[in-house]
Chain A
Amino acid sequence: MVAPSAKSDISGNSAKQLLNQLARAEQRRFRLAVVSGLFAGALTWLQMGLFAWCVTALLVNSQPLSQLTPLFVLWFLILPLRGLLTYVQETLSQRASLAIRKRLRQRLLHHMIALGPVRLSGYHSASLSYQLVEQVEALDGYFARFRVQLWLAALLPLGVFVITLRQDWLAALFLALAAPMIPLFMALVGMGAERLNRDQFAAVARLSGHFIDRVRSLTTLQLFGQTAQARASVWAASEGYRTRSMRTLRLAFLSSAVLEFFAAVAIAVVAIYIGFGLLGYIDYGPSDELTLFSGLFILLLAPEFFQPLRSLAQHYHDRAAALGAADSLVNLLAESPPTTRTDHAPAVAPQAPSTLVALQNANVAHPARGVVLGPVTLSLSRGETVILTGASGSGKSTLLQLLAGFVDPGKGKRLIAEDFRFAWMDQRPLLIQGTLTENLRLAAPNASDEALHQALAQAELRDLVSSLPHGIETSISERGVGLSGGQAQRLALARVFLSQAPLVLLDEPTASLDEHTERAVMQGLETLKREGRTLVIATHHPALKALADRHWHIENGELYSAQGQEVRDDPA
């Protein structure tokens, strides 16, 4: 989930920077949304004015209602306009939010792909997809509501103040007196919301953790007949959480209650002041100029002074949520991808035309572990089968990744032939949600059905496929329907057959397979060799050695031939 990062100012700033940078691209929509919101506010004021006007016309000027009909009609016609403006405001900021999220998601995905399979393996793919999906979604409230509301909360009260000032400066003063309190309350509310968010998030995570932990162990709890006790413990944990978070909530709600209290008091004071002023009980200030119109108008406007702020307070948690999400996204975006993957190093033809790929003094270093492989100099000719051995963790996979171009060759070079293409197979073959056909066509989008069937036969999957209800069009990896590990491995092998790539890189292709599948994979590899493909097989399996033309062995990050000599460009 969210990594509990130490919240330094720098990361806080860059989270804000990221949000601002994202918003900049949608500047136009945001501006238009603010303008719509302002006009909608102004129309509200106009309605209040009309209300006061009609009442004055009736009660003070004794105009008959029939004379006021046009005014009522006009008023009635304004109403949909205000609705339209609020609609425009909401949909514009929502569209801005959609566009921003889409753009950000593209950017993140692009970045992740640029990081490449090796760098990504340092992350949990579930947490990456959480960042790409949930955390991007978490920005919605901030862009769709908070950002525009922030502007409205600054500008609309100002408008109310100016109008009130023109009617009665003392009433305006009452509002203005409440105004300096507002930043204070906003800070209070803000702090409350932020603390609330932080504390709640941690507490919720703990509680969910407790729950998930018990669910995960349910099999064991069932076996020991302990489910009733565990159930009681789930209840106790939830109750404990309730007692603790109520303590926080009481305080947090208090800060917004204070804001509301001052708003209510300010309105009440204005109402009473106007009332007494109209009665002539007040001898000072502008109160003798108060009329029923100005009095009513001010009274109706006073709540509008506080309303935008109240809305903002409601959306404050959107901001906190967005900052939290942006914080973790900034960290991901800060990681720079390997240069070979971004520069698209031009294919330099190796010296000999028979050479498919060559490494010159290539080495791979990890920031934490230092040099893990190299320097390695080797060249791989077309049609060769090479077996690659070494203890686990010695760097076999790294060498394959280096040949594939997933990692930088460091200070060295990687040279590839112009027609260099490769197929890849490791212990965890990719299964996408979809039919067998779709899974096969990943390797060759335009392959004919005949080619698909042939590849399945070569991977010894034909019997299985013919037993399936929809044959090759059966959906796999849906809930309840799945391939076993061995079947998935054979599917990956079928993809290798289908791909026609001259180089095939295989990382432990037979590990943890049952005997039947193991045999099928080995026969498949033989067929590939007969087809004239170049194979590099990292393996522990002794039987695979029989296939090999050459044998590479890695020890302590250095590459040796089977005889114990360092591997040269040209093998003896």
Chain B
Amino acid sequence: MTPPDTLFATLRPWLSALAKRRARLWLGALLMALTLLSALGLLAVSGWFITATGITGLLLAAGVAASLEVYVPGGAIRFFAVSRTVTRYVERVYNHDTVLRLLADLRTQLFGVLAGLDSRTLAKRRASDWLNRLTADIDTLDSLYLRLLAPPAVALVAILLLSGGVAIFVPQAGALLAAVLLLGWLWLTLGQARLGMAASERHVHQLEALRSRTIEQLQGLAELEAYGSLADHRARLDEIEIRLQHDQRTLGRLSALGNALQGWLVSAATLMTLWFAAQAWQAGAISGPVMVMLPMAVLAMNEALGALPASFTWLGATKGAAARLNQLNDQQMPVNAEATQPVSSAQTLTLENVSVHYPGSLQPALESLSLTLNPGERLAVTGASGAGKSTLAALVSRQLYPTAGHITLGGVPLEQWPNDTLRQRVAVLTQQTELLDDSLAANLRLAAPDADDTALWQVLNNVDLGEWANTLPQGLNTRVGEGGRQLSGGQARRVALARLFLRNPDLVLLDEPFAGVDELTAQHLSNFLDAWLAGRSVIYLVHGLNVNAPMPPRITHTLALTG
């Protein structure tokens, strides 16, 4: 199923997100229009004023009694000069504020979408370049308003106002002006967008291809050099760069063409207006100063149209960003109707012929797995990496749905468990330790937001980290760094375990619980863990049952997964 990829359909979710700030957007556009009108007014009134003074001066010199009221136009010139600057300043500040508000809106919205992804999609997306692109895509969309919505709208209004204004004096010129400028506007927006669409939509992908080929070249340098195939691979890289630069050249040319056309359009419209105004003047329909004022006002349209070609030539980049983000919406985990029956205990678990087969993947991640876990049992699931242990953990914690088969928890089909209850009853220690770039306390409180400091110290003592934390100058408020980097691997693992102890689950899944922890500590942890696990059902996920490595306590039976 391919989603409709028309421009409007792609952008619609984002446009409706922007629409929540409708009032601000209108006000911002109004400020833009005022800035433009000030520029237009300044040029038009100055032209009128100078012509009027010139003619009056000539009359005076010829001895004709003539007079000109100079204070109103003089004042108008000063007014427009100041208002142009002030409105421009206010507009920039106001609209940037709007953009930042949109950024907050969109990021929050996107986060909500990401939170609904299944564990498989999230695991695939862990790579930082994907995350960087995601944030870049959001940035592209939050400036949608400032680049692609407000400027063409304001330009359109300006065209109509200007043509209307000119038509009051010279109807013919006004009508023609409207026709010429509207056609031009269409070209500078839709025309440019159409021509640049394919290339600008491709651009991000080409950069990405270049990046991944570069990473290949650098990471595989040893092998490539050994086999003498550096040059071959380099040719692949060059090929991408050639395509990238070809598109960049196309887009550059297009946008230069648009800019040149825009300049031509305004100049030609000015010339045309002067011609018709001169005819009208000769016919006695308008005065000399008005004849000058009209084309000068047209000249100010440069300001309204100037930024359009470049923005619209690159419209495809915005569309691409929106399309990529829309895809995330399609990958949402299905949200099932909440269970109505009260669920008491999650201590029994059954899997019946459960298979997981990712679309497009070479082999099934899990095939026809059946198991039963009774209350208080501790099952050790073994297997090499890729055998499906993490898939099993994701299935049981409902971060992934099976392709086939049934899972029941506490006798109730897993999909019928209300989400909150499920999270309380099933606890998982993931293979990868995930710590937030926040304080020790904040990381622990993820498990129990209302836990007091005493409880936190308690669990830290349980994992042998109490003494260490006591020596830290900031104690529980010590920040753990990005991904917990300020801690050693073993410390991070123990914080993750401590976090688990703050909860009171019926079923616990522990994926390599002692990974990165030294043997002595592991032994000590094992004792406490054993006590804590009493009365709960447990699944251990381990690489292999090796006598040398510290084993989790009291395994009742085992199950080997073969990949």
Interface residues, chain A, with chain B CB atoms under 8 Å away: 47, 51, 54-55, 58-60, 64-65, 68, 72, 75-76, 79-80, 82-84, 86-87, 90-91, 94-95, 98, 101-102, 105, 109, 112-113, 116-117, 120, 125-126, 128-130, 132-134, 137, 144, 208-227, 229-231, 234-235, 238-239, 241-242, 245-246, 249-250, 253-254, 257, 260-261, 264-265, 267-268, 271-272, 274-276, 278-280, 291-292, 295-296, 299-300, 303, 404, 406, 421-426, 428-433, 442-445, 464, 467-468, 474, 479-486, 492, 495, 499, 501, 505, 512-515
Contact = CB atoms under 8 A, between A and B. Distances in A.
A444 B482 contact: no
Interface in B104-124: 104, 107-108, 111-112, 114-115, 117, 119, 122-124
A395 B61 CA distance: 99
Which interface residue of A55, A60, A254, A514 has the most chain B CB atoms within 10 A? A55
Contacts of A208: 132, 135
A60 B128 CA distance: 71
Which interface residue of A58, A425, A464, A479 has the most chain B CB atoms within 10 A? A58
A433 B434 contact: no
B92 A54 contact: no
B60 A280 contact: yes
B275 A91 contact: no
A481 B252 contact: no
Contacts of B434: 216-217, 219-220
B135 A105 contact: no
Interface string B48-74: 011111111110110000001010011
A113 B85 contact: no
B221 A120 contact: yes
Contact of A219 (B49, B68, B423, B430): B430
Interface stretch (B14-22, B152-160, B384-392): B384-392
A227 B117 CA distance: 12
Interface stretch (B256-264, B316-324, B339-347, B528-536): B256-264
Interface stretch (B5-13, B355-363, B459-467): B355-363
Contacts of A278: 50, 53-54, 56-57
Interface stretch (B169-177, B191-199, B224-232, B514-522): B224-232
23 contacts: A54-B278, A55-B292, A60-B54, A60-B58, A128-B218, A133-B207, A208-B135, A213-B436, A213-B483, A224-B447, A229-B449, A235-B104, A254-B89, A257-B85, A276-B53, A278-B57, A279-B53, A296-B292, A430-B219, A430-B223, A442-B232, A480-B359, A505-B226
A230 B128 contact: no
Nearest to A224: B446
Contacts of A264: 42, 81-82, 84-85
Contacts of B212: 129, 433
Interface string B418-440: 01100110011010101111000
Given A116-B221, A126-B129, A253-B89, A79 B229 contact: no
Task: Please give me the 6 A-B residue pairs with the lowest Cβ-Cβ distance, nearest first.
Answer: A430-B220, A514-B384, A238-B104, A292-B54, A90-B256, A225-B423
Interface stretch (B241-249, B371-379, B401-409): B241-249
Contacts, number: 390
Nearest to A115: B221
Contacts of A215: 111, 114, 125, 131, 134
B215 interface: yes
B108 A80 contact: no
Nearest to B281: A58
Contact of A514 (B84, B264, B387): B387
B475 interface: no
A428 B219 contact: yes
Given A65-B278, A209-B437, A224-B423, A292 B51 contact: yes
A201 B506 CA distance: 47
Contact of A94 (B112, B114, B125, B249): B249
Given A84-B260, A113-B221, A424-B222, A242 B104 contact: yes
A91 B258 CA distance: 12
A373 B121 CA distance: 44
- Contact count band on B: 35 or more
Interface string B478-508: 0000110000000000000001000100000
A285 to B, nearest CB: 15
B260 A501 contact: no
B226 A82 contact: no
A245 B93 CA distance: 11
Which interface residue of A94, A129, A280, A296 has the most chain B CB atoms within 10 A? A129
Contact of A230 (B74, B111, B385): B111
B53 A120 contact: no
B100 A241 contact: yes
Contacts of B132: 208, 212
A138 to B, nearest CB: 12
B217 interface: yes
Nearest to A492: B223
Contacts of B163: none
A260 B271 CA distance: 27
B348 interface: no
B399 interface: yes
Contact of A87 (B97, B256, B419): B256
B122 A219 contact: yes
B482 A246 contact: no
Contact of B428 (A223, A275, A485): A223
A442 B397 contact: no
Nearest to A426: B222
B291 A481 contact: no
B47 interface: yes
A312 B252 CA distance: 19
Given A246-B96, A275-B49, A213 B437 contact: yes
Given A215-B111, A268-B81, A129 B218 contact: yes
A468 B360 CA distance: 11
A404 B222 contact: yes
A87 B257 contact: yes
A49 to B, nearest CB: 13
A80 to B, nearest CB: 6
A105 B238 CA distance: 10
Given A216-B434, A239-B104, A486-B386, 6 more contacts: A94-B256, A129-B215, A257-B89, A292-B58, A485-B385, A514-B387
Contact of B245 (A98, A216, A515): A98
B77 A272 contact: yes
B423 to A, nearest CB: 4
Nearest to A229: B449
B256 A91 contact: yes
B89 A512 contact: no
A438 B199 CA distance: 27
Contacts of B237: 109
